[in-house]
Amino acid sequence: MKLVLVLSILSLTLFAQDKEAKALSHESALSAVQTGGNAVSESYDFSTDTSYKPGTREYRLFGNYTLAYADDPEVEGIDKEETARNWKVGAEATQDLTEKVGATVGQSYEGNEFAGYKQRENSDLGLKYRFIRTDKIKSSFELGYRYTTEMRTTRDDDGKDVFYFNKANLYFTISQKLNEQVSYKFWIQYLPNFTEAEDYQINFEPSLTVKMSDILSLRVAYKGQYDNQLNPGVEERLDHTTTTALVAKF
C-alpha cells in the first residue's frame, strides 16, 4: 500500500511535466543492490521530489521507500527475511511573504516498524528564511511547529498504542554546485518533543552528486536518523542508510 502511494506521487509528477518548465522541478532516485553466494541479500531504495512554483507560492510533493531482505543459505527451510522497510510521503506549500521569508504548511505520513512505529502522521506549520538562493548555491532555515500522531507496533502497560506529541521543527539545508558536473547537499533536522522532553530526534543527510548527462546523475548519500528515546522493542538509537543511486532530474 505504501509503495502504491509513492508510485502514485511519481505518476503525478510525470503528468505535471506539461506545465511551465521554469516553474517545475522534479527529481527521482533509484538504487538496487543484490548479492548471492555465501551472503544473499537485496535492497531497494526509491525517492521522488517535485516542486512547482508558478509565482509567489510553491507546492511540493515528496516520498521515499526503502526495502531490504537478507538470507542465510546455510539455514535450510528459511526464506528471505525482511531486514528493513520504511516509507514516507508528504505534501508542502510555501507562500512568499518577502524576498527571503516564507510561510509553510505541510502534511506527511511515515512508517518504520523496525523503529517501533507503524505510522506517524505529521502536521507542520512554520516559517522559512532563505539565506541565499542563486544558480550555484542555495541555503535556508525553517522554524515551525509539528503535531504528531504515532501508532506504535506494541502497546504500553496501559494498553495504549497511539500517542500524540507537540514538537518543534528546526530544519537547515545547504546545496552548492562545485562545478558543472559535481554538487553537494547537506540537511539536518532537529525535532524537540514538548510532550516528552527526552524523546527528541535528529535527522541528517550529506550527499554528493555527479552529473552524467542533462537528466541523469549518480548520487552517494548517507542518511542518519537518531531517536533519543527508543520505542519498546527497539535497541539502536541511530538508524543509518548509505545509498548509491541513479538520479533523474529535470
Question: Domains along the chain?
Answer: 2-249 (2.40.160.40)
Q: How far is CA 219 from CA 121, 156, 206, in A?
A: 29, 41, 11
Q: What is the pLDDT along the chain (250 residues), one digit of tens a residue?
A: 444 444 444 444 444 444 444 689 999 999 988 777 666 788 999 999 999 999 899 999 999 999 998 876 555 555 678 888 999 999 999 999 999 999 999 999 999 999 999 999 999 999 999 999 898 999 999 999 999 999 999 988 788 999 999 999 999 999 999 999 999 999 999 999 999 999 999 999 999 999 999 999 999 999 999 999 888 888 889 988 899 999 998 8
CA-to-CA distance for 164 and 237, rounded, in angstroms? 20
Q: Are 135 and 125 in contact (CB under 8 A)?
A: no
Q: pTM for the full model?
A: 0.83
CA-to-CA distance for 46 and 20, rounded, in angstroms? 26
